[in-house]
Amino acid sequence: MDYLIHLVILISIFSILAISLDLVVGYTGLLSVTHAAFFGIGSYATAILLTRYGVHFFVSIVAGIIVAAVVSYLIGLVLSKFNDDYYALASLGFGVIVYTIFLNWQQLTRGPLGIPGISRPELFGIPFKDNVAFMALALLMAALVYAVARYLVRSPFGRVLKAIRDDEQAIAVFGYHTSRFKLVIFVISAAMAAIAGSLFASYITFISPSSFLLMESIFMLAMIILGGLSNIRGALLGAALLILLPEALRFAGFPSIVAGQMRQFVYGVLLVVLMLYRPQGIVGEYKL
């Protein structure tokens, strides 16, 4: 039972990441590979505030959101000037910069040693040390992010995002400042990713820069491509499938040395097959 609860918690956390990234990639058509950076910012904000200053967990979430929003605003000012491949390359560069800060700013992040001893949250005297209680919290946060994302994509703001994705020059003719819309959704997406980072840090109780490598951004992209771009339910489906897939491989009888490589191999095969036969993903509405 504890094992299933653990999986549900991970699916909830990565669902938040998948939903937030889908707002940028699926709905706006911007190929961003810097999402792990904002995931890491939320994690480090919570880890530092909890372990060094004893700040309340939910205050640390707000702090992580603010820091991620400020950083993403500065990054987004640059990225909003780019399109297509140039956007992806620039976002890649910023992701590397943030990871380098995590790794080398040792006075703040402890560098490669990471930050251990991160406490579980507590609200109105109710502790979330038990995994069942933490699962309820993670599911609640995922539901809130889902509701906000659903509202955004169904609003006039969401329709403009889709128009930017389909033909940015055409929508600009009607007087829309497309760079502003791209910047706003990038900041919103980063803030959501920071929430997932705070939950992740508190649940695992230890973080290090290795949790926020470029491969994590690729993993998040794989989630939304598999589940389906421009479909929030597809983001949830992709997160669930890619969390459960390596767990299924545990029971396939592969040696422990091979199991990790097999997971990467299966991810690659899945993406190649999807790109060939269903590039919009399982329930997607948009092709990269």
Query: CA nearest 274: which of 242, 249, 243?
Result: 242
Mean pLDDT of 172-181: 87
Tell me the pLDDT band of 23, cut-offs 50, 70 and 90: very high
Please determine, for residue 272, whether its predicted confidence score (pLDDT) is greater than 90: no
Q: Which residue has the tokens 């993403």?
A: 72
More confident residue, 254 or 178: 178
Whole-model pTM: value is 0.93
Please determine, for residue 248, whether its predicted confidence score (pLDDT) is greater than 80: no
Please determine, for residue 225, whether its predicted confidence score (pLDDT) is greater than 70: yes
Q: How many helices and strands (H and E) does the chain possess?
A: 11, 2
Tell me the pLDDT band of 259, cut-offs 50, 70 and 90: low
The pLDDT value recorded for residue 107 is: 93
More confident residue, 169 or 70: 70
Please determine, for residue 95, whether its predicted confidence score (pLDDT) is greater than 70: yes
Contact between 68 and 248 (Cβ < 8 Å): no
More confident residue, 218 or 253: 218
